[in-house]
Amino acid sequence: MAKTHPVIVVIEDDPPIRRFLRTSLATHNFAVFEAETGKQGLIEAGVRKPDLLILDLGLPDMDGVEVIKSVRGWSAMPIIVLSARSNEQQKIDALDAGADDYLTKPFGFGELLARIRVALRHASRPAEHTQDEVFIVDALKVDLRNRVVSVDGNEIHLTPIQYRLLCVLIKHAGKVLTHQQILKEVWGPSYQENPHYLRIYMSQLRQKLESDPTQPKYLLTESGVGYRFKVG
C-alpha cells in the first residue's frame, strides 16, 4: 500500500498552509510528510525518499535555494517551490538551482495538483525517451524522428533555431523553463546575456504555430520568469 501512493514531503513554516496541503493532498491519495524548517526538511527528504518535494522559499532557518541545491546534490526528485508574489528573481534562482516548477501564493489547489502531475510524469519518464516519439497536442504535431512539424495537418517550415527551441520546450513540456535555461540549451552558454533573442524567436514560433499569437495555446509566457509549453 505504502508504495502505491506517491510520497510528498512538504517543507513549509506556515501551519495553516501545511494543514491545507496535508488535507487536500491526502484526499488525492498522496502520502504527505511535513517539515517546518529547511534542516528538518532535508532530513525528511533524505529519510522518506519522496517522489516529490514541495518547498516554500521563505523559510525561517535557511534560504530555500540552498535547500534545492542540497537536494540536487544527491537526488533528481521533482521539486515544486512556493513563492511570494512579485519576486520573480527568487523564482528564477530556484528554477536555475534545479527546481522543476513554481507556484505563486496564493494558489488554488487545482493548479497545484496539475503541477504535481506534470512533475511526476516527467520524473517517471526521462526526457531522452521523447526523442523518438511523435509529439501531439491538439492540432500541433511534431515528428521528432523525421523533424516534421505540422498544424492541422499542414506542414510548417521552421528554421533550425526555431526547431531547436520547439524541441527544448517539448522536451520539458508542462514544465516552466527560465530564459537562461532555454538560452543555454538552444544557443549555448555564450548567449546568456541576450534574452531578447529568445523572445524574438519565441514570437516567430508563435506566429507559425499559434492560431492567435496574442492568445497562445501552446507557447505560454511565464511573466518575468520564462516559458512553458502547455500540455493538457
Partner 1 sequence: MNEPRLDPDQLLARVERDKAKAKRGRLKIFFGAAAGVGKSYAMLLAARERRAENLDVIVGLVETHGRADTEALLAGLEILPTRKIDYKGAVLQEFDIDAALKRRPAIILVDELAHTNAPGSRHPKRWQDIRELLEAGIDVYTALNVQHLESLNDDVGQIAGVRIWETVPDTVFEDADEVELVDLPPDELLLRLREGKVYLPQQAQHAIQNFFRKGNLIALRELALRQTTNRVDAQMLDYREDNAIREVWQVNERLMVCIGPNVLAERLVRAGKRLATSLRSAWIVVYVETPELARLPAEKRDGILRVLRLAEQLGAETVTLSAPEMSEALIRFARERNINKIVVGKPSRRGWRRWLLGSVVDVLISHAHNINIYLLGSPQLGEREELEAELSLFKKTPLPGLRQRIPSKTRRRYRGYLWAMAVTLLCTAVGKMLFGKVELANVVMVYLLGVVFVATHFGRGPSVLASLLSVGVFDVLFVQPFYSLSVADSQYLITLLAMLVVAIVISNLMVNVRAQAKVAAHRERRAAALYAMSKELAVAQSERQIVATAVKHLYAEFSSRNVILFANPAGRLIYPKQHSLPQSLRGADLSVAQWVYDHNEMAGHGTHTLPGSAAIYFPIQDEDKAIGVLALLPVNLRRVFLPEQQKLLETFLRQIGQAVARLRFAEQAKSTQLQIEAERLRNSLLSAISHDLRTPLSTIIGSASALVEDDGHLQAQHRLELGRAIYDEAERMANLVNNILDMARLDAGVVELNKQWHPVEEIIGTVLTRLQKHLARRKVSVSLPPGIPLVFVDAVMIEQVLINLLENAVRYTAAGSELEVFAQNVGNTMEISVADHGPGIPKGLEDKLFEKFYQARHESAQSGVGLGLAICRAIVEVHGGRIRASNKPSGGAIFTLTLPNDESPPLMEPEE
Q: How far is the CB of 221 from partner 1 (least distance, A)?
A: 4
User: Is 202 among the residues that bind partner 1 (CB under 8 A)?
Assistant: yes
Question: First and final CA of the chain: distance in angstroms?
Answer: 29
d(CA 42, CA 32): 15
Give how many residues touch partner 1 by CB under 8 A.
Answer: 26
Q: How far is the CB of 200 from partner 1 (least distance, A)?
A: 6
Backbone angles phi, psi at 11, to 5 degrees: -110, 105
Coil, strand or helix at 76: coil
Give the footprint of partner 1 on residues 110-169 (CB under 8 A): 159-161
Measured on CA atoms in the order 119, 115, 193, 217, is the torsion positive or negative?
positive
Q: Which residues, 6+ apart, have CB-to-CB distance to 4 below 8 Å?
A: none
Q: Between 117 and 199, name the residue whose CB sits nearer to partner 1.
A: 199
52-56 and 7-11 beta bridge pairing: parallel
Q: How far is the CB of 12 from partner 1 (least distance, A)?
A: 18
Q: Which of 85, 129, 145, 157 binds partner 1 (CB under 8 A)?
A: 85
d(CA 86, CA 177): 18
d(CA 195, CA 226): 10
Q: Between 48 and 184, name the residue whose CB sits nearer to partner 1.
A: 184
Give the containing element (helix H, strand E) for 198.
helix 195-209
User: Is 27 among the residues that bind partner 1 (CB under 8 A)?
Assistant: no
Q: How far is the CB of 105 from partner 1 (least distance, A)?
A: 9
User: Is 195 among the residues that bind partner 1 (CB under 8 A)?
Assistant: yes
User: Is 91 among the residues that bind partner 1 (CB under 8 A)?
Assistant: no
Q: How far is the CB of 59 from partner 1 (least distance, A)?
A: 21
Q: Between 73 and 188, name the residue whose CB sits nearer to partner 1.
A: 188
Neighbours of 164 (CB within 10 A): 16
Contacts to partner 1 by CB under 8 A: 85-86, 88, 106, 108, 159-161, 194-197, 199-200, 202-203, 206, 212-216, 220-221, 223-224
